[in-house]
Amino acid sequence: MASAIVVTTVALTATGIIGAAVTGELIASFADVGKAAIEGNAQALSRATGEMAKWLGYEAAVGIVVVLINAARDITGKTMHRKWRNWLCDQLEGHLLENRRYVHILYNRAVAKDSVDRMPDNIDQRIQEAIKHMTGSVIGLGMGALGFASAVIGFGGRLGALSTTLPGLEMMGEWASAALAIGAAMLYVPLTTTVAYYLAKQLQRLTVEMQTTEGDYRAELQQMARTAEQIAASDSEAVEKKIINKTYEPVDGTWRRFANATAIYAGFDNMQNTIATKLYSYLPAVPGLVSGAFTFAQFNEVAQLVSQLIVQASWPIRVGPDIANTTGNAQRGTELVEAMIRVSNAREHYARTGVAELQYATHGNGEGVILEKVELMHKGKKQAFLKADRIHFKPGTLTAVMGPSGCGKSTLVKTIMQLHPYGRGKIKLPENATALNVAFVGGRRALYATQEAFLPDKISLKQLLCLPADEKDPALNDVKVAAALQKVGLGKFIQHLKDDNCNGRCWKEVLSGGQKQLAVLARILLHKPDILILDEAVSALDGHRKVIFHELLKEGCPDTAIVSIIHDPDLLDASATPSFYDELVLITQHSLSGERSSCFYTKQFDLRTPSQPWRVMRAAGSCSPW
């Protein structure tokens, strides 16, 4: 495709040279027709009219050829643009999702704008819009630069072929007229290009600013779409409108300045282009016409060549806004790539904004998960908010994690999944849940079920249940998936297993909160992970369904180390419901010595022992477990 663009660009230059000669002869034939008509010479008029018709035909043919060559080059350029953009987006998406770079990039977005650790905003816009415009503009600019080079060589060569001696420039010999024409073009172009450069710098700055503000505005609209039900339920439309208007204000202000700058630039470009093509380009050919060195046709041809040479040499002026746009988009894309490079070493990245000394190691697959001397901090803080001397989540054991709101329950399990970076201590994981990637990857490793089930759009119900594996995995055939769906009480949806919607609605809209959590249970039963993290994964279920959820969990995952964040102490009480939990990690503000502290501490209890302190406390009706 690049070769095709080179060939068509050179062909356009050659056609332009031929066109300049044809135009020169055509204009001369007009003069001959007018002269014969004035003189009343019928024979000369007939001959001149025939010549005029011939050159008109040539002019039309040249025009058609130019159209066809331009069309071929345009199609090739757009195809090249599409393929390059597809490849580049694929590379960026792959590297962004690799090793959880996207998590690290999003984690520190609140860092001050002038900090070197600032993460890029509007990642979706950078990959979608910035890359699209950058690749298209680079190809367009490359084609323009190639056209400029071929025009200078081609038009300059033709001016040399037409060159002749001129009065006052005898020392240049036969190269006088060519030197005068090329010199005039080279004098005009640098002056106008310098002015255009300073105008384009303003466009570049405003382009980046507009991309940033437009991205923020789009992000707010996306946030509104994600929280539409919450906005409606709380009658907060008026507040949401204020937020959207506030986000749009910078867009409007930047757009106004950009429109003014674009208008000024366009006015300058039109002015210099008019001067170059209508006035300036004829001046270098006048001495040749006055001295008799040029015929009238040659005079017009030279003027056309100088005009095209100036237009092509003024290519940087003509594409000034495109250069500004390309530079701005390249900057947006480059910032994203630089951020991905910075977060490649997660520990070094987070160490710049806090204590990031958590160590992950592996041990035997039969040992489960062990936390030793773990202290968790917030970003930018050195004081721990949660301390765990030792916690052991054993295989085949269902462990509850309880504590007051804000004590760090979710942060604790996120630390196991390497989703919280700040802290110190050691986390030991099974060998098949490697320190580099705890998440499920093609085998029994770890699954993390949050309170809000992850149900992305545009994929089938089967794929939703098979996540993170592929629905085409032979180990997850339709029969197994349907059986899991039936087992959790969602059998009525089996007929829609291959559908990405149900009656025109996506699955996250079809399923209720409780059904979403049951769908996640089906996913768990299909994968039978070695490590299972449940973050309030039964919060939307009624009492009966909670019992069924735990029964299926114990039956279907007998060898799994299960960690479950819960708020309901009754789930641990054998007198109220079947006791499914084997152990409890209780988070309180009392240290091992019993003193109350601003920091939270963990205590682990074995619930299978009747005389265990937790059982005694519950039997005595203690008012608060905290």
Average of pLDDT values for 196-202? Answer: 82
Q: How confident is the model at residue 132 (pLDDT cuts 50, 70, 90)?
A: confident
Q: Flag the least confident range among 71-75, 294-298, 476-480.
A: 294-298
Q: Are residues 421 and 339 in the same domain?
A: no
Question: Residue 566 gets which letter from DSSP?
Answer: -
Of the segments 227-236, 314-323, 417-426, which one has the largest average pLDDT value? 417-426
β-pairing, 423-430 vs 369-376, is antiparallel
The letter for the amino acid at 19 is G
Domain with residue 233: its CATH number is: 1.20.1560.10
Are 123 and 105 spatial neighbours (Cβ–Cβ below 8 Å)?
Answer: yes
Question: Residue 505 gets which letter from DSSP?
Answer: B
**Domain limits at 583?**
356-455+511-619
* Among candidate residues 487, 446, 484, the one with its CA nearest the CA of residue 465: 484
Is residue 192 domain-resident? yes
**Which residues have CB under 8 Å from 54's CB, separation 6+?**
29
**H helix runs in 488-607, sequence order:** 507-510, 513-527, 543-556
The residue with greater pLDDT, 487 or 24, is 487
Are 526 and 481 spatial neighbours (Cβ–Cβ below 8 Å)?
Answer: yes
Q: Compute the distance between CA of residue 389 and CA of residue 48 in angstroms, rounded to an integer.
A: 105
Is residue 9 domain-resident? no
Q: Are residues 447 and 586 in the same domain?
A: yes
pLDDT surpasses 90 at 525: yes
Position 327 scores a pLDDT of 83
Is residue 195 domain-resident? yes
Q: How confident is the model at residue 112 (pLDDT cuts 50, 70, 90)?
A: very low
Average of pLDDT values for 300-307? Answer: 81
Q: Are residues 230 and 318 in the same domain?
A: yes
pLDDT tens across 577-596, in order?
A: 456 888 999 998 876 556 67
Q: Are residues 178 and 223 in the same domain?
A: yes
Q: Are residues 343 and 381 in the same domain?
A: no
Is residue 87 domain-resident? no
Is residue 484 domain-resident? no
Is residue 160 domain-resident? yes
Q: Are residues 308 and 368 in the same domain?
A: no
The letter for the amino acid at 551 is E
Domain with residue 395: its CATH number is: 3.40.50.300
Average of pLDDT values for 16-27? Answer: 86
DSSP 29-42: HHHHHHHHHHHT-H
Instruction: Report the domain count for the chain.
Output: 2
Other C-beta atoms closer than 10 Å to the C-beta of 161 total 9
Q: Are residues 214 and 253 in the same domain?
A: yes
Q: Flag the least confident range among 71-75, 319-323, 425-429.
A: 319-323
Q: Are residues 310 and 381 in the same domain?
A: no
Q: Compute the distance between CA of residue 461 and CA of residue 31 in angstroms, rounded to an integer.
A: 78
Give Rg (Cα) of the chain: 37
Q: Are residues 542 and 517 in the same domain?
A: yes
Q: Compute the distance between CA of residue 429 and CA of residue 366 in angstroms, rounded to an integer.
A: 10
Pick the last residue of a domain from 308, 323, 347.
347
pLDDT tens across 187-198, in order?
A: 777 778 788 888
Position 114 scores a pLDDT of 52
pLDDT surpasses 80 at 411: yes
Mean pLDDT of the chain: 83
Q: Are residues 139 and 228 in the same domain?
A: yes
Percent of the chain with pLDDT over 70: 91
pLDDT surpasses 70 at 574: no
Percent of the chain with pLDDT over 90: 22
Pick the last residue of a domain from 347, 379, 410.
347
Q: Are residues 373 and 520 in the same domain?
A: yes
pLDDT surpasses 90 at 104: no
Position 440 scores a pLDDT of 38
Average of pLDDT values for 115-141? Answer: 79
Is residue 488 domain-resident? no
Pick the last residue of a domain from 347, 368, 403.
347
Q: Compute the distance between CA of residue 522 and CA of residue 481 in angstroms, rounded to an integer.
A: 8
Q: Compute the distance between CA of residue 611 and CA of residue 616 in angstroms, rounded to an integer.
A: 6
Is residue 531 domain-resident? yes
Q: How confident is the model at residue 518 (pLDDT cuts 50, 70, 90)?
A: very high
Q: Flag the least confident range among 105-119, 226-240, 288-302.
A: 105-119
Q: Are residues 302 and 419 in the same domain?
A: no
